[in-house]
Homo-oligomer: A and B are copies of this chain.
Amino acid sequence: MDLSERKLKILQAIIYDFIRTAEPVGSRTLSKNYDLGISPATIRNEMSDLEDMGFLTHPHTSSGRVPSEKAYRLYVDTLMDKKELTPVEKDSIAQSLYKNVTELENLVERAAHILSEITNLTAFAMTPRQDQDILKYVNLMPVDERTVILMIVSESGKVSNTSIRLNKPVSMDTLAFISKNMTYNYKGKTISEALTLDIIETVKTDAQALAMYEKSIVPSFVKTLEDMLNVNLYMDGYTNIFSLPEYNDIDKAKMFFEMINRKDDFTQKLINRDNGMIITIGNENNDESLQDCSVITATYHVNGKQVGKIGVIGPTRMKYAEVTSVVEYLTDNLSQAFKLTEGEDEDKDDQY
């Protein structure tokens, strides 16, 4: 059987209607509300064919049709007409995105917020994994005789530090010696490189320095670098699911929240997704708790390799066209924003 022009039109109408109403779509509704030029009976015949082909399902004998995951797939791949945001919409998004931003981290969080507001879905935004970020400054500073602060500054402007507590006082000289060596060896390296680089040789000449370096500094240094690599996941709008009829069932809502709550799992899943605009529908998610959900993600760039992701999670019945356009516009903006700070800032306002 072939997917004739007419079948496609009918399928599209069904998907469109079901996305709007969440109710199974009948032949009569279809012929009344969509300008198909054929009678309900004909539509029924076509729908029957579409069901045989796996694009529609039937909750029970006497109910209307519901699009299958296969139908959504087809819709997303070929049927859906991309919706371009109006200049007004773009403006309003950019406005609220950049309002009062002080840090990039902030921008990412805001993106998740805006996305959830516009789509009325659960949105998320992941900060980029900055493993290509270059160390610019590594320093050890004494605070008091038994406290040292390890400070790391990266090209991208991240500042990280830990306070290290020593169980023996250490001389300023030793500290300066270690600090000098670390700066010399790590400066200019990426975080990834720094994590594999072993500079113990260079401090070996001084027994006290060696002991302290190995026992106190290295663990803190490694931990701090790893912290710098950690991505952050911001989520917003999860109460939106309460307005979706598919989550009127309290158990479904519970499942959803429990899934959302396993943040580490979820983050990992996001990291594993391909880059670019990716839409996974229902079972394509390979995840029990995402059965009836679709996930849309897109990536924004910091430079060649480093990427962050933003996206939404919602019922398979979601407004794909609208959501993808908003997601796309937001990723474009984030990429732009992250590019700005990579080079020299072009001052947005006169706060340096």
Query: Would you call A285 an interface residue if the criterion is a C-beta within 8 Å of the partner chain's C-beta atoms?
Result: no
Q: Does B153 contact A149, Cβ atoms closer than 8 Å?
A: yes
Contact of A161 among B151, B165, B248, B352 (CB under 8 A): B151
Q: A347 — which chain B residues lie within 8 A by C-beta?
A: 167
Provide the main secondary structure of the chain A interface: mixed
Contact of A137 among B143, B159, B248, B352 (CB under 8 A): B143
Q: Does A239 contact B215, Cβ atoms closer than 8 Å?
A: no
Given A143-B136, A163-B153, A167-B347, are A261 and B239 also a contact pair (CB < 8 Å)?
Answer: yes
CA distance A261 to B238 in the complex (A): 9
CA distance A137 to B239 in the complex (A): 44
User: What 1/0 flags go to A109-142 for Cβ under 8 Å of B?
Assistant: 0000000000000000000000000001101010
Given A149-B159, A239-B258, A250-B242, are A141 and B139 also a contact pair (CB < 8 Å)?
Answer: yes
CA distance A323 to B119 in the complex (A): 40
Tell me the smallest distance from the CB of A199 to a CB of chain B, in Å.
19
CA distance A254 to B215 in the complex (A): 51
Tell me the smallest distance from the CB of A32 to a CB of chain B, in Å.
32
CA distance A345 to B166 in the complex (A): 11
Query: Would you call A164 an interface residue if the criterion is a C-beta within 8 Å of the partner chain's C-beta atoms?
Result: yes
Interface residues of A, count at CB 8 A: 38
Q: Does A166 contact B216, Cβ atoms closer than 8 Å?
A: no
Q: Does A161 contact B161, Cβ atoms closer than 8 Å?
A: yes
CA distance A251 to B239 in the complex (A): 11
Q: Which residues of A, 147-198, contact B by the 8 Å Cβ criterion?
A: 147, 149, 151, 153, 157, 159, 161-167
User: What 1/0 flags go to A231-242 for Cβ under 8 Å of B?
Assistant: 000000011001
Tell me the smallest distance from the CB of A338 to a CB of chain B, in Å.
16
Tell me the smallest distance from the CB of A341 to a CB of chain B, in Å.
9
Residue ID in chain B nearest A243 by CB atoms: B254
Q: Which residues of A, 306-352, contact B by the 8 Å Cβ criterion?
A: 345, 347, 351-352
Tell me the smallest distance from the CB of A273 to a CB of chain B, in Å.
25
CA distance A56 to B347 in the complex (A): 66
Query: Would you call A144 an interface residue if the criterion is a C-beta within 8 Å of the partner chain's C-beta atoms?
Result: yes
Tell me the smallest distance from the CB of A153 to a CB of chain B, in Å.
5
List 9 additional A-B contacts (Cβ < 8 Å) besides A159-B162, A166-B352, A167-B352: A136-B144, A139-B141, A143-B153, A157-B163, A165-B345, A167-B347, A219-B351, A250-B253, A253-B253
Task: List 7 tightest A-B contacts by C-beta distance, closest first.
Answer: A167-B352, A242-B254, A216-B352, A239-B257, A137-B143, A159-B163, A159-B161
